[in-house]
Amino acid sequence: MISPSKAQIKPGKLLINGKWQDSVRGGALPTVNPATAAVLTMVAEAASDDVDLAVKAARRAFEGGDWKKMHGSDRAKVLWRCAELIDKHSQELAELESLDSGRPIHESSRLDVPMAADCFRYFSGWATNIQGESLPVKGNCLNYTIREPLGVVGIIVPWNLPLMLGSWKVAPALAAGNTVILKPAEQTPLSALRLGEILMEAGLPEGVLNIVPGLGPVTGEALVSHPNVDKIAFTGSQKTGQEVMRTASRNLKRIALQLGGKSPNIVFADADIDAAVRAAVEGIFVDSGQLCTAASRLLLEDSIHDQFVEKLLARTKELRPGDPLDPATRLGPLVSELQLAKVLGYVASGKNDGAKLAIGGDRATVLGLEKGFFVQPTVFTDVRQDMKIAREEIGGPVLSVVRFKEADEAVKIANSLLYGLSAGVWSRDIRKVHRVARELQAGSVWINTYNVFDPASPFGGFKMSGFGRDLGRECLAQYTLVKSVWVDLTV
């Protein structure tokens, strides 16, 4: 196994009011390296009294006004410095992310870390541009709007891409002048804690960012139910999203939910087949199929089905699970033993339901990492719409291939689930791709490409993939309140 060159693994603490501390009751949770199943370190677990302390600190920091009343250009400086520090520590952050989540360093160093830095840079620009409008109302009145920060924002993120997804919410929330409590997932807290250190070094005032690792039903629930938290920005599973919505309804807390997906990737016969094959393989196997946007349903036009599957399998065969810290590795382990069991359960259900297992289907063994949570890249063909593997989010490297005869049928299949996060369309016919893009019920549609993100472009779901948006101008409205001010000009 390759040893990290930069990442420092130390016991994790809570960040409350600018101080790193243990939890009041002394609770701590292990965080595990998915490639070895060994405990990396212990991380303090925030119980409800710690969450309460974090909320009080965030509330004081908000009401005290240092951050929200600071000129946008000064907030921008802190966010920009944070981006520079992320760049400076990029190798260390990438290694930390790969050790804690199993994501290959090839991805964490090329995508997650640069994207996190870009996200802070992008929203530092917005800190001076959040503004109201003057509106053309009837009568002799002046009416204008002010956009104010919301207050205390609770941010809950999942185990996949924790640094990047955390940045997608922390950066805009801070740019808008809010104070934040971040709860990373229990499986992958380390990069969020390091981001906290970086933001403090960048000059964030005490209490503006607090970090409370811990279990969902304990720490997450305490944050969502806390009456002094104004908003919850959540990314995670549909089931937890529903739970968050129920809990938040008790005090009508604002929420934004970014949930799971079962994304269709539609390939028409007139597509650039080799490019589509490359993207279909990457689209499902990147991050071992655990991305929320994983292209887990491959819809192939009948006439190219066999030729496409042959090329797809040839490329899939080349993918070998390996050490996430090895720059040559393209397929890492799943995040946890639980996820491994869940994914193998779906493989068994695909076999039972009569889908044809074309490749993979088992736990994979990697030399020197025999205890790691690796799964072989797996492809099922002859998948019917009624099968579980065609309908449910698997969260692993398992692709379901489905045939279609014409565009309308492809759209119908694509839209047939309650998910609506993302979709891919492959064709050289410019009219067809735009028509299909309009008809797809998905928050992101990629045409002749897949899994492209930029801080300027909004990201989020339709239907039960959630509501609210991360990134772009779009997300800022969710971290501000709009106030309408009227002035009678005759008095």
Contact residues for ligand NAD, defined by CB under 6 A: 156-160, 165, 183, 185-186, 216-217, 220-221, 224, 235-237, 240, 243-244, 258-261, 292, 393, 395, 421, 461, 466
- Residue with smaller CB distance to ligand NAD, 161 or 359: 161
Q: Rg of the chain over CA atoms, in angstroms? A: 23
CB of 368 to ligand NAD, least distance (A): 28
Q: Is the dihedral of CA 68, 70, 74, 77 positive or negative?
A: negative
CB of 96 to ligand NAD, least distance (A): 17
- Residue with smaller CB distance to ligand NAD, 322 or 443: 443
| Integer Cα distance of 433 and 26 in angstroms | 56
- Residue with smaller CB distance to ligand NAD, 381 or 422: 422
CB of 325 to ligand NAD, least distance (A): 22
Q: Which amino acid is at 120?
A: F
- Residue with smaller CB distance to ligand NAD, 165 or 433: 165
CB of 449 to ligand NAD, least distance (A): 18
Q: Phi and psi dihedrals of 118, rounded to 5?
A: -60, -35
First-to-last CA distance in the chain? 77
How many Cα atoms are found within 13 Å in the side-chain-facing hemisphere of 422? Answer: 25
CB of 424 to ligand NAD, least distance (A): 16
Q: Which amino acid is at 356?
A: K
CB of 229 to ligand NAD, least distance (A): 11
Distance set, CA 464 to CA 7, 112, 169, 415 (Å): 37, 26, 20, 12
**Is 470:293 a contact under the CB 8 Å cutoff?**
no
Q: Which amino acid is at 143?
A: N
- Residue with smaller CB distance to ligand NAD, 255 or 271: 255
| Integer Cα distance of 6 and 96 in angstroms | 9
What is the number of the residue whose Cβ is closest to ligand NAD? 216
**Is 129:480 a contact under the CB 8 Å cutoff?**
no
Answer left, alpha or beta for residue 265, where phi above 0 means left and psi between -120 and 50 means alpha.
beta
- Residue with smaller CB distance to ligand NAD, 260 or 424: 260
CB of 461 to ligand NAD, least distance (A): 6
- Residue with smaller CB distance to ligand NAD, 235 or 427: 235
